Amino acid sequence: MLENLTASLGAEMKEDGSFNRQVNRFTAAFGDGEEELPVEAGRYRLLWSAVCPWAHRSVIVRSVLGLEDAISLGTASPMRPDLPHVDWEFSLDQEGVDPVLRIRYMSEIYQKTDPEYSGRPTVPVMVDVKDQKAVNNDYFKLTNYLETAWKSLHKKNAPDLYPEHLREEIDALNDIIFHDVNNGVYKCGFARSQEAYEEAYDALFARLDELEERLSQQRFLFGNFITDSDVRLYATLIRFDAAYYSAFKTNRNRIVDFPHIWGYLRDLYQTPGFGDTTDFHAIKVHYHLSNHIATDDQKSKNILPKGPDLSGLTSTHNRELLSGMEEKFLRQRSTEEAVIIRDASDSELPYIREQRVASYQEHAVNIPGGHWTALKQAISSEADVQAGAQRIVAESEGKIIGSVVLFPAKSDAYEGYVEELDYPEIRMLAVAPEARGKGAGALLVSECIKRAKEQGYSSIGLHTGEFMEGAMRLYERLSFERLPQYDFEPAGDGIIVKAYRLTFK
């Protein structure tokens, strides 16, 4: 009941003074299953406020995927209403009510859906317009539903923000970002003890330091293309300097003080769907003047901070130099365009070997001639037909676009340069230059990992030339670790072939 909402914020505070965010109430999934919410254009209305990072992420995805006509949008005011309970108000609309749902306060939808609801009415919330009831306020999963279950209504050539071969990694990183960054700023701002505040503060900036290092090597969190993880991180970063830095005392550094994160944020802000859905005035009004955050002194004087200067968000970032391309999105592919991973036939080996050489050719200008000659000979030889070696290809539109060889444990995968190891080894990974950007390399490596797991191994290894920077970024993104003790120098020319290993959880 509404009177119970008054105590909801207090219910989210633990005895040690730390903030423990409430559990989402409406979590039904979208899909075509018997117990799932049907996907239907025009049936649902997404309620949000431009101030809220949890809601902003869904609005970004809605825009990027072209779902604006399929899902209508209702916008609540940045200022909390002057009520004895926490709520959102539709005071921006004519007559002070949402024009579709005809409600004044967000709590009306929550109470209509569940009269016993006693938590805060939160955004985002998807409302079934037919019966005017909330069906999903699960901000953590909602973007994933929009990216997958709603695919039939995406615009033509929409981005793939949640590629299947990366979902496990995206989910893992999203969980980390949520605890330390997305919710971390709130754990700082809502802390009610010095110890709780400092614990959250230290975790937040330790994670930002890690992300700064990660983004120094690649354009986005998972390489060359924007994913769901980037959307989630953006929603916090874009509010940091304008709100959290002062309002939540997250003041060790501003985002502009992290060179790589700052460039990354500008790159995202300048992407359609990101900057054009960001309302800095609303953000500052909410975090500096709204009832549940601002101090009584701030509210009484009604003074809104003039800064910070955010004009730098539109400045040149040069992040495309990390990816080598202007394109920021991995585009969805039709069934005909999908990459298929399969075993190679013996008759395909001559073509595969030629393709390997062609895909490695770009490195010839960066290494001594003798080294290139030795490398070319190795990747075009019959070393790939050793007993137990699995030759795997990536195929798209009926053509082989890449390949890899998985050597069994305790085999001479590197022709005497490395001692025989007790785990399988990935070798000769190659993707045709004209086919890059489809995720074939990651799919091939993931297939090798899957096969090693199926064979009962707990690790898998590989070696790669130190000049193969793109390959090393891929392996590091997939959580391979360096093993310098197994490095070797095949041509005696100072060029090192680096060893990596992935240990499975």
Q: Which of 280, 307, 332 is the last residue of a domain?
A: 332
What is the chain's length? Answer: 505
Which residue is listed with tokens 């559990």?
23
**Catalytic (active site) residue 44:** no
Residues 345 and 324 in one domain: no
Mean pLDDT taken over the chain: 90
> Which residues, at least 6 apart from 251, have a Cβ–Cβ distance to it below 8 Å?
245
> What percent of the chain stands above pLDDT 70?
92
3-state secondary structure of 279: coil
Mean pLDDT computed over 53-66: 98
Cα 398 to Cα 134, 344, 434, 436: the distances in Å are: 46, 13, 15, 16
List, for residues 355-408, the tens digit of each pLDDT value: 999 999 999 998 999 899 989 998 999 989 989 999 999 998 889 999 999 999
| Neighbouring-strand partners of residue 462 | 426, 500
Cα 231 to Cα 63: distance, rounded to the nearest angstrom: 12
Residue 136's domain is classified under what CATH number? 3.40.30.10
472 in Cβ contact with 487 (< 8 Å): no
What is the model's pLDDT at position 47? Answer: 98
Residues 324 and 205 in one domain: yes
Domain that holds residue 294: 159-332
Residue 61 has pLDDT above 70, yes or no: yes
Residues 175 and 30 in one domain: no
Residues 90 and 63 in one domain: yes
Residues 398 and 376 in one domain: yes
Residues 293 and 379 in one domain: no
Residues 232 and 324 in one domain: yes
Q: Which of 306, 332, 358 is the last residue of a domain?
A: 332
Q: Which of 298, 316, 332 is the last residue of a domain?
A: 332
Residue 52 has pLDDT above 90, yes or no: yes
Catalytic residue, from 44, 186, 245, 360: name it.
186
> Would the pTM of this model clear 0.75, i.e. be above it?
no
> What percent of the chain stands above pLDDT 90?
73
55 in Cβ contact with 220 (< 8 Å): no
Residues 424 and 473 in one domain: yes
Which residue is listed with tokens 């003047």?
289
pLDDT band for position 417 (cuts 50, 70, 90): low
Compute the chain's Rg from CA coordinates. Answer: 26
Mean pLDDT computed over 447-453: 93
Cα atoms in the 13 Å half-sphere on the side-chain side of 345: 4
Residue 148 has pLDDT above 80, yes or no: yes
Mean pLDDT computed over 303-325: 91
**Catalytic (active site) residue 52:** yes
Mean pLDDT computed over 214-222: 94
Cα 123 to Cα 137: distance, rounded to the nearest angstrom: 7
Residue 1 has pLDDT above 90, yes or no: no
Residue 414 has pLDDT above 90, yes or no: no
Residues 128 and 272 in one domain: no
Cα 185 to Cα 179: distance, rounded to the nearest angstrom: 9
Among the residue ranges 4-13, 102-111, 282-291, the one predicted with the least confidence is 4-13
Residue 5 has pLDDT above 60, yes or no: no
Residue 162 has pLDDT above 90, yes or no: yes
Residues 317 and 366 in one domain: no
Catalytic residue, from 52, 105, 110, 500: name it.
52
